[in-house]
Amino acid sequence: MLKRAKALFAGTLTTLTGVSTASQADEVSTRQLNMTQGITEVSQAAYDIHMLMMWVCVVIGAAVFGFMIYVMFAHRKSRGVKAANFHEHIGVELAWTIVPALILIVIAFPATNALLKVYDASDAEMDIKITGYQWKWQYEYLGEDVRFMSSLRTSQDEIYGREEKGEHYLREVDNPLVIPANTKVRFLLTGNDVIHSWWVPDLGVKKDALPGIFTEAWAKTSEVGVYVGECAELCGKDHAFMPIVVEVKPKEEFNTWLAEQKASAAEYASTIGKEWSMDELMERGEKVYTTNCAGCHGIDGLGIPGVFPSMVGTEVTMGPIEKHIDVIVNGVNGTAMQAFAAQLSEVDIAAVVTYERNAWGNDLGDMAQPIDVLNHKNGQ
Phi then psi for residue 276, to 5 deg, are -85, 145
- What pLDDT shows up at residue 31? 65
- What pLDDT shows up at residue 242? 94
DSSP state of 62: H
User: pLDDT digits over 184-209, tens only?
Assistant: 999 999 999 999 999 999 999 999 99
CATH of range 35-119; options 3.40.50.1820, 3.30.420.40, 1.10.287.610, 1.10.287.90:
1.10.287.90
Sheet containing 225-231: give its strands across. Answer: 177-180, 243-249, 225-231, 196-200, 205-209
Residue 15 CA: distances (Å) to CA of 44, 56, 109: 16, 14, 24
- What pLDDT shows up at residue 141? 96
Phi then psi for residue 61, to 5 deg, are -60, -45
Q: What do you get for the CA distance between the two ends of the chain, in Å?
A: 67
Residues contacting residue 146 through CB under 8 Å, at least 6 positions apart? 140, 258, 261, 262, 265
Sheet containing 185-191: give its strands across. Answer: 146-150, 136-141, 126-133, 185-191, 215-219
Of the candidates 222, 219, 183, 175, which has an alpha carbon nearest to the alpha carbon of residue 201?
219
Q: Where are the domains of the chain?
A: 35-119, 126-269, 278-377
Is residue 317 within 8 A of residue 356, CB to CB? The reply is yes
Global confidence as pTM: 0.76
CA distance 169 to 154: 6
- What pLDDT shows up at residue 29? 54
- What pLDDT shows up at residue 15? 36
Residues contacting residue 83 through CB under 8 Å, at least 6 positions apart? none
Is residue 265 within 8 A of residue 146, CB to CB? The reply is yes
CATH 2.60.40.420 matches 126-269: yes
CA distance 199 to 177: 13
CATH 2.40.128.630 matches 278-377: no
Q: What is the pLDDT along the chain (380 residues), one digit of tens a residue?
A: 434 444 433 443 333 333 333 333 344 455 678 888 889 989 998 999 999 999 999 999 999 999 999 989 888 888 888 887 877 888 888 998 999 999 999 889 989 988 898 899 899 999 999 999 989 999 999 999 899 999 999 988 888 888 889 889 999 999 999 999 999 999 999 999 999 999 999 999 999 999 999 999 999 999 999 999 999 999 988 899 999 999 999 999 999 999 999 888 877 777 777 889 999 999 999 999 988 898 889 889 998 888 889 999 899 999 999 999 999 999 888 888 888 988 888 999 999 999 999 999 998 999 999 999 988 888 86
Residue 253 CA: distances (Å) to CA of 45, 178, 181, 363: 28, 10, 10, 46
